[in-house]
Structure 1
Amino acid sequence: MTHTTRQFITRTLVATAIAVTGSAASAADKTLDIGLSDSLTGPGAVYGLPQSNAVKMAVDEINAKGGIKAGADTYKLNVISYDDKANPTEGTNVVRKLIDRDGVKYIVGFCCSGPTSAVASFIGKEPVVMLVGNAAERSVTTQGASNLLRTRPPADFTGAAAGTFVAQKGAKNIAVIGNLDIFFYTQYLEAFEKEFTKGGGKVIAKESFGLKDRDMTPQLTKIRALNPDAILVIGYVEPAAFVYRQALEMGLNVPRFGFTSGSEEQFLKVATAEQMEGVWDLRPIELTLTALGPVAQAYADNYNKKFGMAAAPSSPYAYDQVYVLKHAIETAGTTDAAKVAAAAHNIVIPAESVMKYLPVAGKMFDESGQAYTANGAFQWQKGKWVYVSDLPSDALVYSAFLKTLRK
């Protein structure tokens, strides 16, 4: 072999190695963008920031395990996030930016119903998959959009069960105070009142407060004059905590029921543990470790380690979204949004799911793209929320009702 021949062979081998290495690097560097639209500032951030954290944690986990495999390709996930400020106009602008400028095919997050409902009204015409988390407005999954799926059940699915529970507790005359200008809260209340009345109870007052209100004494003064035997508080964590605290400060010592969600840390920013003692929260089971299994415990531990705080109860709705997306893409064998949406509609509950879902016909989502989690009665006892029991909830019956509302 001549010197010239050796040089030729060496150059050829080097070129081949570079080509192979470059090809492998190219395959390893494939990225799949996920858009996140959530309330990262303002009153809605109490739900939006934990959801955003949960999405990032799920993405980090998936990437650390090699990413998502779609056919012959493997993708690492990248999150592009924007703040919708719990505002319908901002929510619409964020999603338009994600689709039109950033070119994303998958959008997750959506903790608040205002921006989520606005986006749900047009998303069915877009070549994307939209996965909704904590937003509980019923109409989100009645728009007929086959590319929209939600992990949280609608508010009235929980409200009906709560009304039965409170009646069984012996309350007869209940006064309501809450964010009654927000539609999904009024849906919860309507379903609650219907079942509460069936059980022999009566709603004797309905007082409203705003998201930024902190002094509820005028409303509570009116309620106290009516001598109710219980109150029902419906609203975001912070104003609800002020109601719980101020009711006791005004001598309104009656059972306090609520529909708020929120962690112990979030409530303790406003009220003391003693002021919260005995309060009931009637909501989806969410992240309640005593009612869930080892997957939820691992989620809670990992979240605390990663972000230095306890995970908000509703945050796994967003975490589960990412794993729904992973399994849907891998089942579809492609990143084509329409095929991924179809696959998502037919998946069983992923093993990585944190929430306790009630399957419909063996699947995670019903025909409307709606998932259902079990509802629970929680009581504040000695500084923390304690799971007491499930609330009576029939996913099949509600799913059939929801289907009648689809456009």
Structure 2
Amino acid sequence: MKIRALLGCSAATLMLVGGAHAAEKTLTIGVADALTGGAAVYGLPQANSVEMAADEINAAGGIAVGDDTYMLDVIVYDDKANPTEATNAVRKLIDRDGVRYILGFCCSGATGAVASFIEYEDAVMLVGNAAERSITTQGISNLVRTRPPADYTGAAAGAFVAKQGHKRIAVLGALETSFYASYVEAFEEEFKKSGGEVIAHEVFASKDRDMSPQLTKIREMQPDALLVVGYVEPAAFAYRQATELGMDVPRYGFTSGSEEQFLRVASSEQMEGVWDLRPTELTLQSTTDAGLAYHANYSERFGDAPSPSSPYAYDQAWALKHAIEAAGSVEDTEAVAAALRELEVFPEAVMQYLPVEGKMFDQNGQAYTANGAFQWQEGHWVFVEELPSDQEAYSRFLSTVN
């Protein structure tokens, strides 16, 4: 089901401005993302961000290819963060709608399902918030990802928590989800280097809302700190219930949600002092002028603040514009995919990318940001410090994984 009206000009419209002048045409791009269900906290802001970027690109004159100018239209389908739904959505975009460029992809299971066949299609896939490492280890030349993998961040988080002096930490989270598990694995490996020990690995599912049994068990083990990894809503319940159970220990997390999303479950007082150890995403205290403008424009347009990870999708749209113009074609998807790998970080980018050999995407199609330590202080996520990140070394490592 197509759930959003097309943006810009009608896909059937071709306007010739004078016989010898440039033609204005339409390029339809697609979005497959989680618009409903628990993952919608990530997917819906991404879909919104692509729509907003498309409007801004159109307002700035569109995409220039030779003598033609292309205005963007967007078709969005709900993949519900489900591998089967994602496969069906992308098949409709390619087979029925004739779309060559597909953006979005907030969640790893659904993204992995599409990645398994996209290399055989005349299409380009731009992945956003999905953090499973394997997405960019398969040598898929027509796929790039704007968010760094989870374990790239997990190692930096482990070093940060060890630096706080903790020796015994308990983990609670969606550990049966591979990218959360890889974050924790990298975290634990780094944490152990400083003599730390992970004393518990307690699990919740994405639909769980009562974590009191797991938290009671953890409380009896008397950890120095608690690490929570998972989607925003269950993580917020875990933070709230830890407070209600009187667990007076530092709380760390890997969630990447906005203040508004957490406050739907927990009070600001219950969130006070919580850390989020994640890629340096959109937080007003850590952003650039481009990020401030993005936050203001998104909030005005959609009546809600953007989630911290939503600019991954916004940046996809601008990356696609620059790659198409560099390739000089909208039909030649191989040339556009190659141009993406050659892009430098462009001025419209909201996330603060760390180039590899001067390029936004490395040889694996992977982009990197710095990692950051954010803390909840008086109702807001506050950027406290940058975590150690070596994108060049990680890129070399990623090239060895298959």
The TM-score range, normalised by the shorter chain, is over 0.9
Whether the 8 Å CA contact 2:257–2:307 is kept in 1: the answer is yes
Within the candidate set 345, 355, 358, 1:359 is matched to: 355
Secondary structure at the counterpart of residue 175 of structure 1: strand
Counterpart residue type for residue 116 of structure 2: S
Partner of 1:178: 173
- Kindly state the Cα deviation for residue 171 of structure 1 after the two structures are TM-superposed: 0.8
Within the candidate set 70, 76, 79, 1:84 is matched to: 79
- Kindly state the Cα deviation for residue 289 of structure 1 after the two structures are TM-superposed: 2.4
Distance 1:193 1:56 in 2: 39
Distance 1:189 1:236 in 2: 14
Whether the 8 Å CA contact 1:173–1:230 is kept in 2: the answer is yes
Distance 1:158 1:125 in 2: 31
Distance 1:329 1:103 in 2: 17
Counterpart residue type for residue 341 of structure 1: A
Within the candidate set 288, 302, 306, 2:301 is matched to: 306
Distance 2:21 2:47 in 1: 30
Structure 1 residues 126 and 386: alpha-carbon distance in aligned structure 2, compared to 1, 3 A threshold: same
Partner of 2:116: 121
For the pair 1:46 / 2:41, whether they are aligned, the reply is: yes
Distance 2:166 2:86 in 1: 40
Partner of 1:159: 154
Counterpart residue type for residue 364 of structure 1: M
Partner of 1:192: 187
- Kindly state the Cα deviation for residue 72 of structure 1 after the two structures are TM-superposed: 1.6
- Kindly state the Cα deviation for residue 66 of structure 1 after the two structures are TM-superposed: 1.6
Partner of 1:291: 286
For the pair 1:399 / 2:384, whether they are aligned, the reply is: no
Counterpart residue type for residue 161 of structure 2: V
Structure 2 unaligned runs (5+)?
A: 1-14
Distance 1:122 1:139 in 2: 14
- Kindly state the Cα deviation for residue 27 of structure 1 after the two structures are TM-superposed: 2.4
Distance 2:18 2:204 in 1: 60
Partner of 1:329: 324
- Flag the structure with larger Rg: 1
Counterpart residue type for residue 254 of structure 2: F
Distance 2:250 2:17 in 1: 68
Partner of 1:64: 59
Q: What does 1:1-400 align with in structure 2 at a 5 Å threshold? A: 27-28=23-24, 30-335=25-330, 336-400=332-396
Whether the 8 Å CA contact 1:164–1:195 is kept in 2: the answer is yes
Secondary structure at the counterpart of residue 163 of structure 1: helix
- Kindly state the Cα deviation for residue 127 of structure 1 after the two structures are TM-superposed: 1.0
Secondary structure at the counterpart of residue 367 of structure 1: coil
Structure 1 residues 24 and 305: alpha-carbon distance in aligned structure 2, compared to 1, 3 A threshold: farther
- Kindly state the Cα deviation for residue 292 of structure 1 after the two structures are TM-superposed: 2.2
Secondary structure at the counterpart of residue 125 of structure 1: coil
Distance 1:328 1:144 in 2: 19
Q: TM-score, normalised by structure 1?
A: 0.93
Q: How many correspondences in the alignment?
A: 387
Partner of 1:4: none
Distance 1:354 1:232 in 2: 28
Residues 196-216 of structure 1: CA distance to partner in whole angstroms, max 9, x if unpaired? 000111000001111111111
Q: TM-score, normalised by structure 2?
A: 0.94
Distance 2:122 2:397 in 1: 28
Residues 282-323 of structure 1: CA distance to partner in whole angstroms, max 9, x if unpaired? 000110222221111001011111111111100000000000
- Kindly state the Cα deviation for residue 253 of structure 1 after the two structures are TM-superposed: 0.9
Secondary structure at the counterpart of residue 119 of structure 2: helix
Structure 1 residues 148 and 300: alpha-carbon distance in aligned structure 2, compared to 1, 3 A threshold: same
Structure 1 residues 206 and 24: alpha-carbon distance in aligned structure 2, compared to 1, 3 A threshold: farther
The alignment-based identity, stated in percent, is 68
Whether the 8 Å CA contact 2:22–2:68 is kept in 1: the answer is no
Counterpart residue type for residue 352 of structure 1: E
Runs of 4+ off more than 4 Å: 19-26
Whether the 8 Å CA contact 1:121–1:143 is kept in 2: the answer is no
Structure 1 unaligned runs (5+)?
A: 1-18
Q: Which has the higher helix share?
A: 1
Partner of 2:5: none
Whether the 8 Å CA contact 2:21–2:67 is kept in 1: the answer is no
Whether the 8 Å CA contact 1:124–1:144 is kept in 2: the answer is no
Counterpart residue type for residue 340 of structure 2: A
Residues 181-202 of structure 1: CA distance to partner in whole angstroms, max 9, x if unpaired? 1100000000000000001110
